[in-house]
């Protein structure tokens, strides 16, 4: 079978690897270079965790973890840094209560720390009415390395990945799918669209995806004191469940601790300008750190803008095109999807091949927005 993939970020490269491994002819198209900075799948780190207020996603992560381990083994690279995860907030915060209940329901081991216990272990300033959940299997994924590892393995298995190649037309028909690049049409048996912030635009002729692309900024702050306390062997990834600030230990080549806010930023056209980081966003994060993590309030060593593609309910969209079942698409990862990309790539590959995806995808169906 001849399969085209539009968009070679986290999901697209994973799907290319899985499809190529089954012996199918795979051609991937990326309008930029691999690991470009215009979308959502690049950078040194993304949190990986089973800690969710929703058991549905916690269970999905049970399936994703072994796939990341497989990718790490096959690539021979260090892709997953297991430093544990610390998730904190007021004891009576609904998100904290739901998260602990979900961990219990799924059977994920964790430790519950009082504010005093957390302060004794980590350099956070917790209030007396706060508590924390420490989950030892959490950590970080080296996002760019993951994408490039998937791409390299896909190519080694025969996939053709065309970089800097813009697809300007798609035409499903009764026998397959035609794709046009540079005025030249090519025919494929199946098409998978995993184009991140551009997925809605590509599908616009057939369906309207209820997604909003948002601008998000993160920054690395110099550690002003107790730097050794922020190394991965002593400091976990973390999420403040009340404010949704989150961060990482100091690791790899960029000095400082990475901090970001998981609140949806302003709507953004992915083809527009305006990707320059804003000092006011850095200052808002620094103001938060002064209250919660004062040893990480030094000068910014690096900052970057990335994009979310957000659905109204923040669940993903995984479906086939109505009336054109040869076209499968994945989108709307809503800022929490990278940890699932290897699993979504496997699911998408199975859908493309008309196989059982291995998971109940009804929650990801586009039809959920019809009511």
Q: What is the CATH classification number for the domain harbouring 123?
A: 3.30.9.10
Q: What percent of the chain has pLDDT over 70?
A: 100
Number of domains in the chain: 2
The answer to whether residues 23 and 165 belong to one domain is: yes
224 is a domain residue: yes
The answer to whether residues 64 and 200 belong to one domain is: no
Structure tokens at 291: 């209250």
Q: What does the pLDDT read at residue 273?
A: 83
47 is a domain residue: no
Q: What does the pLDDT read at residue 310?
A: 98
Determine how β-strand 190-193 pairs with β-strand 324-331.
parallel
Which whole-number Å values give the CA distances from 233 to 69, 86, 211, 222, in the listed order? 20, 13, 38, 18
| 310, 325, 356 - which closes a domain | 310
CA–CA separation, 297 vs 200, rounded Å?
38
pLDDT digits 0-9 by tens, 75-104: 999 999 999 999 999 999 999 999 999 999
The answer to whether residues 364 and 218 belong to one domain is: no
Task: Give the Cβ contact number of residue 365 at 10 Å.
Answer: 14
Q: pLDDT-derived band of residue 26, with 50, 70 and 90 as boundaries? A: very high
Which whole-number Å values give the CA distances from 178 to 183, 270, 359, 368, in the listed order? 12, 25, 29, 29
Mean per-residue pLDDT for 326-331? Answer: 97
Mean per-residue pLDDT for 141-147? Answer: 98
Confidence check: pLDDT of 232 > 90? yes
Specify the pTM.
0.97
Q: Contact 86/134 with Cβ under 8 angstroms? A: yes
Mean per-residue pLDDT for 149-166? Answer: 98
50 is a domain residue: no
The answer to whether residues 122 and 155 belong to one domain is: no
Q: Contact 50/137 with Cβ under 8 angstroms? A: yes
pLDDT digits 0-9 by tens, 267-301: 999 999 889 999 999 999 999 999 999 999 999 99
The answer to whether residues 136 and 149 belong to one domain is: no
Q: What does the pLDDT read at residue 174?
A: 83
Structure tokens at 27: 């051609």
| 310, 331, 353 - which closes a domain | 310
Mean per-residue pLDDT for 47-57? Answer: 97
The answer to whether residues 162 and 179 belong to one domain is: yes
Who's near 120: CB < 8 A, 6+ residues apart?
none
Helix (H, G, I), strand (E, B) or coil at 339: helix
The answer to whether residues 136 and 219 belong to one domain is: yes
52 is a domain residue: no
55 is a domain residue: no
Q: Which of 31, 137, 30, 50 is nearest to 99 (CA)?
A: 50
pLDDT digits 0-9 by tens, 169-225: 999 988 899 999 999 999 999 999 999 999 999 999 999 999 999 999 999 999 999
Domain residues for 155? 2-42+144-209+313-369
C-alpha of 345 from chain center: 12
168 is a domain residue: yes
CA–CA separation, 62 vs 89, rounded Å?
25
The maximal CA–CA distance of the chain, rounded, in angstroms, is 65
| 295, 310, 325 - which closes a domain | 310
CA–CA separation, 92 vs 81, rounded Å?
31
Mean per-residue pLDDT for 349-366? Answer: 97
CA atoms within 13 A on the CB side of 106: 22
Q: What does the pLDDT read at residue 274?
A: 82
The answer to whether residues 115 and 33 belong to one domain is: no
The answer to whether residues 159 and 79 belong to one domain is: no
The answer to whether residues 305 and 223 belong to one domain is: yes
252 is a domain residue: yes
Supply the CATH number for residue 168's domain: 3.50.50.60
250 is a domain residue: yes
Confidence check: pLDDT of 371 > 80? no
The answer to whether residues 19 and 69 belong to one domain is: no
pLDDT digits 0-9 by tens, 168-177: 999 998 889 9
The answer to whether residues 127 and 28 belong to one domain is: no
CA–CA separation, 34 vs 254, rounded Å?
21
């Amino acid at each position: 079978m001849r399969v085209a993939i539009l968009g070679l970020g986290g999901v697209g490269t994973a799907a290319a690897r899985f499809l190529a491994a089954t012996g199918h002819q795979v051609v991937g198209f990326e309008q930029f270079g691999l690991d470009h900075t215009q979308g959502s799948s690049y950078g040194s780190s993304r949190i990986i965790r089973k800690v969710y207020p929703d058991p549905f996603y916690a269970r999905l992560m049970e399936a994703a973890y072994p796939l990341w381990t497989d990718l790490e083994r096959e690539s021979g690279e260090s892709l997953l840094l297991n430093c544990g995860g610390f998730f904190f907030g007021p004891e009576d915060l609904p998100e904290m209560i739901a998260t602990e209940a979900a961990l219990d329901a799924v059977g994920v081991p964790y430790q519950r720390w009082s504010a005093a216990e957390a302060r004794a272990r980590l350099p956070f300033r917790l209030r007396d009415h706060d508590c924390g959940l420490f989950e030892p299997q959490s950590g970080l994924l080296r996002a760019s390395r993951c994408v490039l590892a998937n791409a390299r393995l896909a190519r080694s298995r025969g996939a053709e990945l065309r970089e800097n190649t813009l697809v300007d037309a798609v035409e499903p028909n009764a026998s397959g799918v035609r794709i046009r690049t540079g005025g030249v049409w090519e025919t494929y048996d199946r098409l998978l669209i995993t184009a991140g912030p551009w997925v809605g635009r590509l599908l616009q002729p057939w369906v309207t995806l209820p997604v909003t692309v948002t601008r998000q900024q993160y920054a690395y702050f110099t550690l002003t004191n107790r730097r050794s306390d922020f190394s991965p062997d002593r400091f976990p990834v973390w999420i403040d469940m009340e404010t949704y600030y989150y961060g990482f230990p100091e690791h790899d080549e960029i000095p400082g601790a990475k901090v970001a806010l998981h609140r949806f930023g302003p709507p953004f056209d992915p083809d527009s300008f305006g990707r320059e980081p804003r000092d006011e966003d850095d200052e808002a994060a620094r103001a938060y750190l002064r209250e919660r993590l004062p040893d990480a309030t030094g000068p910014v060593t690096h900052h970057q803008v990335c994009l979310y593609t957000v659905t109204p309910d923040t669940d993903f969209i995984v479906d086939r095109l109505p009336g054109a079942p040869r076209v499968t698409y994945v989108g709307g990862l809503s800022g929490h999807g990278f940890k699932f990309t290897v699993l979504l790539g496997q699911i998408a590959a199975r859908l493309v091949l008309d196989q059982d995806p291995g998971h109940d995808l009804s929650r990801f169906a586009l039809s959920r927005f019809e009511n």
